[in-house]
Amino acid sequence: MKKSLYIIYLLAFATLICSCQQKLQDLIDENPYGEGTRKLNINLIYPDGFESEKAGAEIKVLNPTNGIEYKLYSNDLGKASIDLQYGFYRVSVTDKGAPISGAIPIFNRSVDQVRLIDTLKGDLNLNVELALSYAGQLIIKEVYYRGCTGLDLKTFQYDKYITFYNNSDDIAYLDSVCFGIVEPYNAPTNPTPWSYLSADGQRVIRDTIPIIEAIWQFPGTGKSHPLQPGQEVVVALSAAVDHTILRPMSVNLNVPGYWVCYNQRYTNASYHPSPGPNLANHWLDLLWKQGTSTAYPFSTVSPAPVIFRIPEVGAQAYIDNPANRSRKPGTTSATEYIMIPSSWVLDGVECFDVTTRNKRFPASIDATFVVMGDADRYLGKTVHRNVDEEATQKAGGRIVYMDTNNSANDFYVRSSQSIKE
């Protein structure tokens, strides 16, 4: 009797295994990357008053898994179509409009996880609502965060910096400009909780962005720190000293005119030693610090830096108001973030280490991202803006950088730090 029961149990177990295998095979058969194609029809929806801009918009369709990218252009109706293999895709759009009183309107949007599978009936129609922004005066020109290697072959990352540039033909003033990084520190593997699904299933990132850990600000009374057209300013994010003495691949951050994120609340002396003498009176003000970190945690993998101005009430008053703080949606963490409306943002750049990450910025700030992978780590490389050759020529040779609020177009990976030249 026991032997018979044992045989029955074995048969039942084998049946269960076969059933699980069949379900697994069914899932494999439903794999969107199977063979076959579907047509993707893209319809661009422009903000009110800009419908005449529909023709000629550049549309990029990226397969993040294999890196294959397709480039399309919209017709007079703002439409474009393409036949694609089954899979998940990222669709991004960038367009410039005709100048309005000297301001250049920019239209952007990025749609992640566009799913083309064999269970679809007919074509997939995708409406892409474009976000309106304008080319900025003060921009992020370069971000150095991946570190370098010393003569002793040890890796080094205490020499991070960011460069801001006056990309206009008017004087810019650094006074009251704030700097921070957007949550999370590294580009996430899942969609940011600061987002939601719209009625048509598109992932939409909120227009109010969460600043994590700290907010720094340039001091001044309004016109204390002018930046001439075509002039840049370097901000050391950690040790503002000459690093090249022991590490020729690194940079000298003890240079007159440079600034530094330095405050004694950050006590880690490796990251934040006393700044060099050439940076006297060029320390950014620390307006707000969250948590117990002893060093300013600017990511060495995939940061999202942002510069902004807080109008009217002033930065400190805004930050001190609890109504302007928020906890992360969907968590029980007590950590608070300062929420900044995207309309206050001067510039931001989304940095990824791989293309399969998820975005933190809404399209009005940065529609896509720039990628600097692990193969580029500790080699002194930076992400740097591309030169807009046409605009530079019109400006009489003064360098004008690309500014489409689309980092895939605007930035590239530079082989070495530009401030070494």
Helices (H), 269-312: none
Residue 64: the pLDDT is: 86
Confidence of residue 122 (pLDDT cuts 50, 70, 90): confident
* Residue 129 near residue 114, CB atoms below 8 Å: no
Q: Where are the beta strands (DSSP E) in 219-266?
A: 226-227, 232-236, 259-260
Stretch 213-228: mean pLDDT: 96
d(Cα 118, Cα 326) in Å, to the nearest integer? Answer: 41
Give the residue among 61, 7, 337, 66 at the shortest CA–CA distance from 182. Answer: 337
d(Cα 318, Cα 71) in Å, to the nearest integer? Answer: 43
| Cis amide bond preceding 184, omega within 30 | yes
**pLDDT above 90: residue 56:** yes
CATH 2.60.40.10 domain position(s) in the chain? 37-134
Please report, as a single letter, which amino acid is at residue 142: E
**pLDDT above 70: residue 400:** yes
Residue 120: the pLDDT is: 65
Confidence of residue 27 (pLDDT cuts 50, 70, 90): very low
**pLDDT above 90: residue 35:** no
Residue 20: the pLDDT is: 47
Stretch 327-350: mean pLDDT: 95
d(Cα 166, Cα 309) in Å, to the nearest integer? Answer: 15
Please report, as a single letter, which amino acid is at residue 405: N
Q: How many CB atoms lie within 10 A of CB 152?
A: 8
Stretch 24-52: mean pLDDT: 73
In this structure, of 87-91, 142-146, 369-373, the range with the lowest mean pLDDT score is 87-91
Residue 131: the pLDDT is: 86
**pLDDT above 70: residue 362:** yes
Stretch 14-32: mean pLDDT: 46
- CA 349-353-357 angle, to 5 degrees, is 80
The DSSP letter of residue 24 is: H
Give the residue among 28, 224, 33, 199 at the shortest CA–CA distance from 129. Answer: 199
Stretch 230-249: mean pLDDT: 97
Per-residue pLDDT reduced to its tens digit, 168-215: 999 999 999 999 999 999 999 999 999 998 877 778 899 999 999 999
Q: How many CB atoms lie within 10 A of CB 158?
A: 20
Residue 34: the pLDDT is: 58
Confidence of residue 106 (pLDDT cuts 50, 70, 90): confident
Confidence of residue 8 (pLDDT cuts 50, 70, 90): very low
Stretch 271-275: mean pLDDT: 96
Residue 3: the pLDDT is: 46
In this structure, of 11-25, 99-113, 158-172, the range with the lowest mean pLDDT score is 11-25
Residue 119: the pLDDT is: 66
Residue 108: the pLDDT is: 87
* Residue 61 near residue 70, CB atoms below 8 Å: yes
Q: Which residue has the tokens 């990251």?
A: 271
Residue 133: the pLDDT is: 83
Stretch 300-325: mean pLDDT: 94
Q: Residue 192 contacts by C-beta under 8 Å, 6 or more apart in sequence? A: 184, 205, 358, 359, 360
Q: Residue 99 contacts by C-beta under 8 Å, 6 or more apart in sequence? A: none
Residue 31: the pLDDT is: 47
- CA 141-178-260 angle, to 5 degrees, is 70
**Strand, helix or coil for residue 373:** coil
Backbone φ and ψ for 12, nearest 5 degrees, come out as -65, -40
Confidence of residue 154 (pLDDT cuts 50, 70, 90): very high
What CATH topology corresponds to 37-134? Immunoglobulin-like (2.60.40)
Backbone φ and ψ for 388, nearest 5 degrees, come out as -85, 95
Cα distances (angstroms) measured from residue 326 to each of 19, 152, 319? 47, 45, 11
> By percentage, how much of the chain surpasses pLDDT 70?
90
Q: How many CB atoms lie within 10 A of CB 3?
A: 7
In this structure, of 86-95, 144-153, 157-166, 331-340, the range with the lowest mean pLDDT score is 86-95
Give the residue among 360, 173, 187, 177 at the shortest CA–CA distance from 261. Answer: 177
**pLDDT above 70: residue 330:** yes
Token pair in block for residue 84: 């694609």
d(Cα 146, Cα 378) in Å, to the nearest integer? Answer: 6
Between 19 and 130, name the one with better pLDDT.
130
Per the prediction, the chain carries an average pLDDT of 90
d(Cα 285, Cα 267) in Å, to the nearest integer? Answer: 16
